């Protein structure tokens, strides 16, 4: 109230009911003041309105400022309720159709590749050592990328950002757990608690980022170079595809270190560079043996690429799940330097 009073005194001609701030229910408590960079054209606002305008968070815009968290003190004092566009039900129907189609496609592949053997009653199989746990990272990463894909579609259909995050994460989790439950009826496999835990954690991560924007400083990323692609799989006639070619996969966690270590560090660290830690495996023998490789690498902050507008921002946000080829050091199984790690 004090801030609004001071602003109104400084600019008495301003009618505060015209201030274009979205309803508070559109934002999480930590997001009220996180989008202050891009104002609408200044001629549409008085000086006070320019000061107070806050932009709605969006997957099509820059990510919220993950280095600052401010309390929601102002929005509750402004009585402004703009008319927002309603959901695009045709697009929502198309998205639902695509979702069901993807479900069917995954079921057909899994049935031929993993569920073609004898069926049995539902049972649990602990497989923490399977593929040296690189598959668990895949189970975390998959719902993260699925939730992002669903969120883009929901936002394009005018579903508000907060609702879209919850719906997309739930849809991604349902997608993953369907496979896990069906595994429980395959005689050669079984329901894996480790896979399910990773699925739940991956689906929860976008929701946690929404409520705790500091987590936007930590990006799960993926890279792949074919090793066993097309080779004979676990079942007769099965050919390995990307998701089963474990030795070709690398999983990374890329960090915006400038935001994490403060302003002093930002002065010496280029803002377009991220620091990444990675994990991959080699020489898997199918019995829990093989080599675990850990990496430290540089990575690119796609958000710093100078391309602007909704389309370009959507592309940057989507490519941000892929590790950019940059120098890296393998720190296990013999230290090795790579000019371009992918």
Domain range for 254 is 216-342
**Shared domain check, 289 and 338:** yes
**Shared domain check, 339 and 226:** yes
**Shared domain check, 312 and 342:** yes
**Average pLDDT for residues 207-226, to the nearest whole number?**
95
Please state the domain count of the chain: 3
**Average pLDDT for residues 97-113, to the nearest whole number?**
84
Higher pLDDT, 276 or 4: 276
**Shared domain check, 342 and 295:** yes
* 68's tokens: 């600052």
Above 70 in pLDDT, residue 336?
yes
**Shared domain check, 220 and 205:** no
The CA distances from residue 171 to 55, 109, 255, in Å, are 27, 19, 27
**Shared domain check, 245 and 174:** no
> Does residue 119 lie within any of the structural domains?
yes
**Shared domain check, 128 and 201:** yes
| pLDDT level of residue 83 (50, 70, 90 thresholds) | low
For 116-126, the pLDDT digits (tens) are 777 889 999 98
Residue 239 phi, psi dihedral angles, 5° rounding: -110, 130
> Does residue 69 lie within any of the structural domains?
yes
- Of the residues 196, 211, 226, which one is the last residue of a structural domain? 211
- Ranked by mean pLDDT, the top range of 20-34, 132-146, 175-189 is 132-146
Above 90 in pLDDT, residue 331?
yes
In the chain, what percentage of residues exceed pLDDT 90?
48
Helix (H, G, I), strand (E, B) or coil at 278: strand
What is the structure's pLDDT at 206? 97
Above 60 in pLDDT, residue 188?
yes
Cα separation of 188 and 177, whole Å?
18
> Does residue 280 lie within any of the structural domains?
yes
**Average pLDDT for residues 24-35, to the nearest whole number?**
42
Above 50 in pLDDT, residue 335?
yes
**Average pLDDT for residues 181-190, to the nearest whole number?**
88
**Shared domain check, 166 and 66:** no
What is the structure's pLDDT at 84? 64
Above 60 in pLDDT, residue 306?
yes
> Does residue 224 lie within any of the structural domains?
yes
> Does residue 341 lie within any of the structural domains?
yes
**Shared domain check, 239 and 142:** no
Above 80 in pLDDT, residue 162?
yes
What is the structure's pLDDT at 37? 39
> Does residue 197 lie within any of the structural domains?
yes
DSSP 26: G
What is the structure's pLDDT at 318? 92
**Shared domain check, 203 and 119:** yes
Above 70 in pLDDT, residue 249?
yes
Q: Which of 77-91, 155-169, 277-291, 309-323 has the lowest mean pLDDT?
A: 77-91
**Average pLDDT for residues 297-312, to the nearest whole number?**
94
Above 50 in pLDDT, residue 44?
no
> Does residue 82 lie within any of the structural domains?
no
- Of the residues 163, 179, 211, which one is the last residue of a structural domain? 211
> Does residue 285 lie within any of the structural domains?
yes
**Shared domain check, 187 and 165:** yes
- Of the residues 211, 240, 274, which one is the last residue of a structural domain? 211
Instruction: List the one residue out of 275, 279, 234 whose CA is nearest residue 138.
Output: 279
Higher pLDDT, 332 or 263: 332
What is the structure's pLDDT at 117? 72
Positive or negative torsion for Cα 57, 62, 66, 71? negative
> Model pTM?
0.74
Cα separation of 3 and 5, whole Å?
5
What is the structure's pLDDT at 291? 95
Task: Output the average pLDDT for the chain.
Answer: 79
What is the structure's pLDDT at 211? 96
**Shared domain check, 71 and 92:** no
Bridge partner residues of 124 (DSSP): 191
Helix (H, G, I), strand (E, B) or coil at 218: strand
For 92-104, the pLDDT digits (tens) are 899 889 888 888 8
Cα separation of 320 and 318, whole Å?
5
Residue 336 phi, psi dihedral angles, 5° rounding: -145, 140
């Amino acid at each position: 109230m004090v801030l609004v009073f001071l602003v109104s005194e400084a600019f008495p001609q301003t009618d505060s009911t015209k201030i274009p701030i979205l309803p508070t229910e559109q934002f999480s408590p930590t997001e009220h003041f996180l989008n202050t960079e891009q104002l609408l054209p200044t001629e549409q606002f008085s000086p006070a309105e320019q000061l107070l305008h806050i932009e709605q968070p969006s997957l099509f815009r820059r990510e919220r400022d993950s280095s600052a968290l401010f309390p929601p003190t102002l929005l509750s004092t402004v009585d402004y309720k703009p008319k927002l566009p309603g959901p695009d039900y045709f697009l929502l129907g198309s998205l639902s159709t695509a979702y069901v189609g993807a479900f069917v496609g995954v079921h057909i592949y899994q049935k031929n590749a993993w569920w073609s053997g004898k069926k049995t009653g539902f049972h649990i199989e602990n497989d923490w050592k399977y593929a040296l746990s690189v598959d668990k990272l895949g189970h975390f990463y998959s719902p993260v990328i699925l939730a992002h894909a669903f969120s883009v579609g929901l936002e394009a259909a005018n579903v508000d950002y907060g609702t879209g995050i919850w719906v997309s994460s739930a849809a991604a989790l349902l997608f993953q757990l369907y496979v896990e439950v069906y595994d429980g009826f395959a005689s050669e496999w079984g329901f894996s608690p480790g896979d399910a835990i990773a699925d739940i954690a991956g689906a929860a991560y976008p929701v946690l980022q929404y409520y705790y924007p500091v987590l936007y400083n930590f990006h799960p990323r993926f890279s792949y170079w074919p090793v066993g692609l097309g080779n004979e799989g676990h079942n007769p006639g099965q050919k390995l595809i990307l998701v089963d070619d474990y030795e070709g996969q690398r999983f990374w966690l890329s960090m915006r270190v400038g935001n994490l270590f403060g302003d002093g560090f930002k002065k010496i660290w280029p803002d377009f560079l991220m620091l990444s830690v990675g994990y991959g495996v080699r020489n898997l023998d199918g019995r829990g043996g093989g080599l675990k490789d850990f990496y430290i690498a540089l990575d690119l902050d796609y958000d710093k690429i100078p391309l602007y507008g909704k389309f370009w921002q959507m592309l940057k946000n989507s490519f941000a799940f892929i590790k950019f080829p940059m120098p890296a050091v393998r720190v296990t199984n013999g230290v090795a330097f790579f000019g371009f790690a992918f």
